[in-house]
Amino acid sequence: MSAQKGGNNVVVIAEDYADISQLVGDILRDEGYQVHSVSRGADVYSAVKKFLPIVLLLDLSMPDVPGNEVLQQLTRDPETDHVPVIIVSAYTDQLRRVPQVVGVVNKPFDINTLLDEVARVKAGEHKVA
């Protein structure tokens, strides 16, 4: 798989609250992004590997597989270790930093702040080591 598989508009949302996922997804779609959402930690890695998004919006508090474990899975795979991650969580103090984390948005969040972070990543204003 090439890094361009997902194109330049794909965002994966990993959020276990359906209303938050739906809201963020709808707004991102209105902004022209293609959105794929997952609600379980166990599904995040496979979604990222399948879609190779421009960014993953990751909640740390996911059922079954916590966000920090998802980050470790992504970091260990050369096909996914370059995908930028924006943490969107109420528990950002629990974040174990890895090079893929290019932004942190605390819940509750302002949607414009989140959109600005996604736009920043799309514009290439991030660095994944």
When the pLDDT of each residue in the chain is averaged and rounded to a whole number, the result is 88
Q: Measured in whole angstroms, how far is the alpha carbon of residue 25 from the centre of its chain?
A: 12
List of residues 6+ apart from 123 with CB closer than 8 A:
none
82-119: per-residue pLDDT in tens?
999 999 988 877 787 777 889 889 898 899 999 999 99
Domains of the chain listed by start with CATH number:
10-122 (3.40.50.2300)
pTM of the model: 0.89
Kindly report, residue by residue over 77-91, the tens digit of the pLDDT. Answer: 999 999 999 999 888
